[in-house]
Structure 1
Amino acid sequence: MTRDERRVVSPWNIANVLTVLRLVLVPFFVFCLFLPGTGWRVAALGVFAVASITDHLDGELARRYGLITDFGKIADPIADKALTGAALVSLSVLGQLPWWVTIVILGRELGITVLRLALLRHAVIPASYGGKVKTALQITAIVLYLLPFVPDPVRWLVMGVTVVVTVGTGADYLLRAVKLRQVARQARGE
């Protein structure tokens, strides 16, 4: 065992604190979003932006400084889904985003999360470049819906691309999971 493998990382580190902060910001974001007026809309956008930045920072800090923990592996995706899910559901409740978009995106996210949990005993499928693009597109599309004066066609176009990429990356993940399962079965001689 190398020195780094023996090192135990405390779950109380800056990366995990940022993840928890993102979770804590979700209700504040929703609260601001449902209050009337442009000022509250901009406040919701600000809270969403800060929470989104923590998504990038926590992963970067965890990798750079070796702060990856089991807590972070579980809490980070939960915080991500909580933030984007709250935004999509809230925008649909407010009548600003069609429910079918929210259902497709959240259905994909839930399905892939369940699939990841089911595959944990075999292996972890790493996040793909497409998954990172999907996340960036989801955040961008939500920001465009939060901004008070963006023309609807621009919002629709970016959200449409987001839905296509979200579904496409979900299908890719599913195919990679099937291949992983086949390899695991062959390794066991089934």
Structure 2
Amino acid sequence: MLVLSSPSGAGKTTLSRRLLAHDGDITMSVSVTTRPPRPGEVHGQDYFFTDVPTFTRMRDAGELLEHATVFSNMYGTPRGAVEKALSQGKDVLFDIDWQGTQQLSENAAQDLVKVFILPPSAEDLEKRLRTRAQDTDEVVRQRMAEASDEISHYFEYDYIIVNHEVEDSLARLQAILAAERQKRERVTGLAQFVNALRAAL
């Protein structure tokens, strides 16, 4: 499970989409949320959009691997789809905040790689938020105010990428993923391969 977190506007969603487009062995974990769709977002692809009672039922029934409330909206990761992808040998990419990452760490620390995306500067973060033109001035101010708290959790992550330029950040992210896939404990069938190799020598 590969987690990407960042303050809103730092580029994690863009990097997630680029990584998915370049790597067929990783699939996106689609979160369920109570917030309304933004322009262009597709139900079941970007998020599963639902109401508060349905979300609460899923949470209370243990159907979510993690859940959090951000900007008065509820977000969570459906357990079933993630477990199915992992059982099929796929890596799973998560676009979640530090609260959700903490919960995943408690439940599956050995299977988790955590990457935090930082903006190059506060000015750049505000510019990106305003450029995407999806939020009101009030929401942009709120997101900027929350960014400092979100960034303070950077030390809980395994890797940090300062997102100066998307292509460079993508290359760094791909390098992290490639290295983590080659860790001894993650290479399936390694013991059998080594035993057969030694027997042939």
Q: Normalising by the residue count of structure 2, what TM-score does the alignment of the two structures yield?
A: 0.25
Identify the structure with the greater strand proportion.
2
Which structure has the higher relative contact order (CA within 8 Å, separation 6+)? 2
Hey, which of these two has a bigger chunk of helix by percent?
1
